[in-house]
Each structure stands twice: as structure tokens, then as C-alpha cells.
Structure 1
């Protein structure tokens, strides 16, 4: 199993990252705890090491499930979590302030049953908190031994530069990673964010590699998302951003790309998810691809897809079919990771 350095750091992570947004203990959790444990064991036994979660996933129970699952294998895991999401009704219970991040980190450490986080990430930007305050707080976490490395998620190119400059001014700890929405139907990061990450030493962890299921054939052109599906849930949210994301994702051009992926899969006698994942793995700018399986069988199938080698002619064909996709709603960063 291949591993890569995460950005400009000495931390080596697997080319595949296990996303755990589906893990939880509540009855509505897509992946209940026993199956989550099987997924984690399958993932680690296959030689992968990067597991990603967040304090907001399933009300924090994703972290609890992971903490119990890796208790005896902690040294084998590069454990990543994220903070910034609301953790209470108070004005200081959200965002990237020192006050909130300090509380959020301590709560994550308790839920994960660990003394340290390998990669602690800012889940979303916070325009109300000076970036110098955020980076100073994160540096303090590193110096205290509670965090090993720091990263961000959903940041713009300008936000990344501001954060790295703030760390440099304070002789502190810089970001080593960015989580970004990236797939055959979401390539907007190639314009500014990828070059910025390369210049400023951030590895890229790609989430939504199957375009929220569109590239896997879960949604059909001209048909509303099925009740209970993730897109149906987002479309029903009061947030205009969530609804705009769904509308942008279900654009005609994206279905054209999904059709081309399906055609390629038929020609290669494989599946559409395999083609989409194999294309993403071949991108040199991507350090690790985040998979969010609901079952161990789904994980096994996705891992096989990431091991599939696309012929160069096919990669060129997929690039040509998808390279002009620049829809802000569907290709911009969304906050579901």
C-alpha cells in the first residue's frame, strides 16, 4: 500500500482516507457501531492508516465510535478530526476562536479516548475571527502535545495564504493539509486552490470523490432524488446554500459527465464508481482520497476501484469530458464533510 507525505511534513498517510460521517450510535445513523468497527478493521488490515472524522458528525457520536474501535490499534492510525461547527447555543460555542477551539479539542479528545490528535483541522473558515488568533491557538495545541499537525477544510486560496502567513509571522505551526471537494464533476479547485496548496506546502484530501453519488449512478436525469437520500435531505434544508448545492449538482452537464463515466465502465467491463475513483487516484495533486462507506462491502468495492489503473487514453477522454465544469454551487466547497 502506497503512502505519501502529507504536504510539507514528515507525516505519511495512505492514499486512501476513511471518512466516517455515516458512523454513529443513534438509530438513524447510516452505519451502526458494529458495522463501523468492521469497516475500520477492514481498512486498517488492508494497510491504510488515515481516518477522518469531525466533532459535528452524528452529534459527536462518530468520534465516540472511532475511539472505541481504535483503542487497541491507536499507534496504527493517523487520526484526523475537525472543529468549528456549533457545539452549543452560546455565541462562543462555534467558529475558530481560541475559546471555542480549546473547548472543541478537549471534547474531541474525550470522545476519541486519546491523548492527541494526529491532524486537527479547521472545518470551515470563520470570517469573524482574526486568522492570527486561530493559528496561534492551533500552534499552542501543537506545543502542548495535544495535536501533531494542523490542517483546514473548505478554505479558499486566499484563506490558505492568509493562514500560512499568520503562522510564519508568529514563527508558529503552518497548515499541512486541505480537505476539498474534488471529482470529475467538481474540478474548480484546479484553477487557484491546487497551485496555492502546492506553493504553500499543503497536501490535498479529496472528499465527495463520487460527486455525492451522482457518478455512482444514484440519481437520474430529470428525476427528483429519492426520499431519504442525502440529496433529498439537503434539498429539504432551510439553508439556501444547501438547496443551491443540490441544484448545481444535478445540472445537465454533470449528468453528461456521469453518462460518459458509465460508458467507459461498460467498455472496460467494470463499474462507474471504479472509473471515477481510478481517475481521481491518478491525479498527482491529490494526496489521499476520502471514502465514506456505509458498509464493509462498500468499502471493499471502493478500495478495489482505487486500485484500478485507467488506460491513458481513457484518462484523456475523461479529462476532456469534465475539464470545463466550473459550477460554483456544485464545485465550490460545501460543508458536509
Structure 2
């Protein structure tokens, strides 16, 4: 395993992280989930990401119980706050009340005394940004949280947060968690440059586009019966990728991976991690073999001619070729 600093902080996270969205506590049985988490730890993964909203706290419970047998100092535990956790008017968002209450609830579900990385799951337009940042800062002062970050915030929102933190002498945000993969690259234009300038590392989710970049979905063929796309509880996001244009480009990418002697999933992860602004790529896994296979992506070096070939294929999808 290889590790990178999380933004400008001193915290080091594994280049491959393990997430729990749409998997643990939702679509994967507990024993199977625990086995995947243990396999990840054995492979050197130290960054484990979840959220209070993942199946209303069930994912936090599964993750916390699975990690209980390991020394608390040996892993980096991340969770989030924002989405609705009840029917009351204060049961969602980034108000001081909701943040403080949900942090305590997450600590209880995870079975730990502190959260390494506490993230604002989305931006809250109804709460003053200073209120949110002060609540996060207080949690750090109390020792309940060590570092703070955001998820899917725009470049302007991140910039505002950085400026307020500096002006009010609050602890800085250290990370952003956006979606980022070969097919979804909006962060390259504004978010990545702003975060690199301000010292926020990216812990990106869905680096394999919910399994599309594994090559398991083929143009003109039915989805595999065991895949997420065949599961009514997890297919809403995946189905947005399932069109002929995307799948035809994915086939080209798979051909490139085969010529390089690697799996498409490994090439996709290596491509994401090639960007220096990315601290960790968060994978999802329902089987231990998937964890092992994905970790092997760290051994891949993408030659410049191959990278050029990949970027030409990607330009056909979204018309934007990166400068790296």
C-alpha cells in the first residue's frame, strides 16, 4: 500500500480507501461486509469512509463493529453530516444543532471516541457558513473530531469557507470528497485548482463509476444478475451511465487496458490517482477479491503514449482533455 498526505495536513491516508455507500448496511450481508473490511485492512488500507445517512446509520454500525478488533490509531475513520436523519425541521442540514447532535450519534454508532475526518456531505444554503465552520471547529476543540472536510462543494463554496476560516482564525478544512472518474470529471476545471491552491486533498468517490469502469456492462447485453445495476436498491445511480455512447467508449478503454496487460478497473484507478491533487480513491467492494484486485492498481504506471490514447477516448465522451 502507498499513502499520501491529506491536503496540507499531516494526516496520511491510503491511496485506495474503502467506502460503504450502497453496500455495507444496505445491499451486502453483514458477514460479507465484515470480510471485505478486514481484507481491506490486511491489504494496508487505512482510510475507511462512511456517512450517517447511509441506510440511516446502518453502514456506520457495520463499519464500526468490523474495525473494533484493530487498534484505533491504526486507521483513519471518516463520516459525514447533512442529509435528513429524521422528520423534524432540524433533522438535516449544517446548523450547529444538527452537526453537534449527529456527531454524537455517529460516535455512538461507530463505537469510537473520535472521528478522524468529519465531512459536510453537501452545502447548506439555509445555514450561515460561519455557523457551520464554528460548529466543526468546536468539535475539534472538544476532541470529538480531528480533521474536517466537505463533499461535493463547488469551487466558490470552498473558497468562501477557506476565507471565513482564515478571517475568524478557525481550523482549516483539509479535504473535499467529490465524484471523480474517467467519465465524470467536472472537478478538473475549477474545484481541483482551488483545492490545490488552498490545501485541500481530494478523497474521491465512485472512481469506477459504480462498476461501469470494470467492463462488466456490455453494449447490447443484459446487465449481470449479480451486479448493482440489477439490484433495485442500488441501480438508480448506475443506470445513468448505461447508454450506448458511454458503453462504446468504455469498450475502447477496456481494449487499452488489455493491451497494457491490466484490468480496466485497475487502469481506471491508476488514472484517477495519477492526479497529484487526489489523496485517495474510495472503492466499494462486495467481495474480498474485489479489494485485492483494486489494490493492485497501485502497481500500474501509465506510459505517456497510453495516457494520450486514454485522453483521446475520454475527449469523445465529454470534450475535455486534462493538462496532465
Please indicate, yes or no, whether the TM-score normalized by the shorter chain is above 0.5. yes
Which deviations, in whole Å up to 9, do the C-alpha atoms of 1:104-151 show, x marking residues without a partner?
111000001111000000011111111111101101101111000000
2:214 to 216, 228, 234: 216
- Residue 67 in structure 1 maps to residue 64 in structure 2: yes
How is 1:168-317 mapped onto 2 (pairs within 5 angstroms)? Answer: 168-221=166-219, 230-231=228-229, 233=232, 246-247=239-240, 249-317=241-309
For the 8 Å contact 2:14–2:46, the answer to whether it is kept is yes
Aligned partners of 1:120, 1:57: CA distance in 2, in Å? 15
Aligned partners of 1:269, 1:286: CA distance in 2, in Å? 24
Q: Which residue is equivalent to 1:15? A: 15
Q: Which residue is equivalent to 2:153? A: 155
Q: Secondary structure at the match of 2:202?
A: strand
TM-score for the superposition, normalised by structure 2:
0.90
Write out the 4+ residue segments of structure 1 that deviate beyond 6 Å after TM superposition.
234-237
Q: Give the drift of 1:38.
A: 1.9
Structure 1 residues 33, 236: CA separation in 2 closer, same or farther (over 3 Å shift)?
closer
Structure 1 residues 228, 41: CA separation in 2 closer, same or farther (over 3 Å shift)?
closer
- RMSD over aligned Cα atoms: 2.3
Structure 1: 5+ residue stretches without partners: 328-337
Structure 2: 5+ residue stretches without partners: 320-324
Q: Secondary structure at the match of 1:152?
A: strand
Q: Give the drift of 1:305.
A: 2.8
Aligned partners of 1:5, 1:235: CA distance in 2, in Å? 32
Q: Give the drift of 1:70.
A: 1.5
- Residue 146 in structure 1 maps to residue 144 in structure 2: yes
- State how many pairs are aligned: 317
Aligned partners of 2:169, 2:73: CA distance in 1, in Å? 29
Stretch deviating more after TM superposition (276-285 or 216-225): 216-225
TM-score for the superposition, normalised by structure 1:
0.87
